Structure formats: C-alpha cells, structure tokens
Amino acid sequence: MRINYVGIPLLALLLFMTGCSSSQKEPAMKLFDSETEAIAYGMKQSPQITEIIGESKYVDNEKILIYSFKNNNDIGIGTASMISKGNQVGWVLNGNGFTINPDANAVIKSHNGYKYDLYAGMTKNKNKTIETTTDEHVTPHMNRKTNIYYLLVPHPTKAD
C-alpha cells in the first residue's frame, strides 16, 4: 500500500481552511410572547440596568428602549432594541451605555442598523433645553423619578 505524503497534508489543510472560513453567526435571538417578558429577560442579563426610562415607536419592527444604569457610583444611560418577529419580541443591547455626569451624548447604532444621536444628562430643572447638532433650545424627555433627561434623534440614513 502506497501512502501519498503530499495528499494527506493537503487534505488536512483543506479541512482546516473550510472549518476556519465558515462565517460565525450571531446566536439566535431569544423570543418572548410579550414586551414585558423580553424586558425582564434583558434586565436579568444586564443587572446594572436600573430601569427603562423611555422608548421610541416601532420603526421597521424595531423599538429603541432607553435605560438607565448604575455602575459603582456612576449613573449612565444606554439603549436596547426590542425586535418584533411575528407575534413575538426579542431584546438586544445596542452596545455599551455611557455615563452622564452631568451630561453627554453619543451616536448609537441599533440592531437593524439605524444610527441615532442620544443626548442625556441629569438635572432638576423642569425647563431644561439642550442644543443638538441641528437645533438649539430643544426640550428633551425627562424622567422625574431619576432626574435624567434624554433625547433620541434619528439620523436620516442607515449606518454603514
């Protein structure tokens, strides 16, 4: 019996390359029968989240949830996407949140690829206005319980 010393390494290399080149897929999104169940799951997965302080409307089967979090002594804000699939919904974090001492802003990218400017901060001023990249004297949403204000401003196009 003759062993082909070139064929065996070539076959091993081919098998290795095939295994390494397969695209890695994101884990399947866990779906729930209600938004309440999905939010409870998301908050259990991310225990630093203290509460959901706001939300957008559904756009392309996606709703943006704005949450507050506490990490050590820092208070922050972040977003998650509520994805509607048929009669069920899933929860996905949109990256890391950011601290708001006293205010900050960031560009976020949603699960469906949309970009938003998120402005946030803390104030006891009920008449707080902020300046965005396109407007001045804009009144943000206010969570009276936490004194956190926020404004989610969509970009006109999808992210790259």
Give the pTM: 0.79
Strands (E), 3-147: 31-32, 49-55, 62-71, 74-85, 88-93, 98-99, 103-109, 114-122, 141-143
* pLDDT tens digit sequence for 33-90: 999 999 999 999 999 999 999 999 999 999 999 999 998 889 999 999 999 999 999 9
Asked if 76 contacts 97 with a C-beta cutoff of 8 angstroms, the reply is yes
- Rounded distance, CA 47 to CA 86, Å? 28
Q: Is the pLDDT of residue 17 over 60?
A: no
Helices (H), 22-122: 35-45
End-to-end CA gap in the chain: 57
pLDDT at residue 57, as a whole number: 94
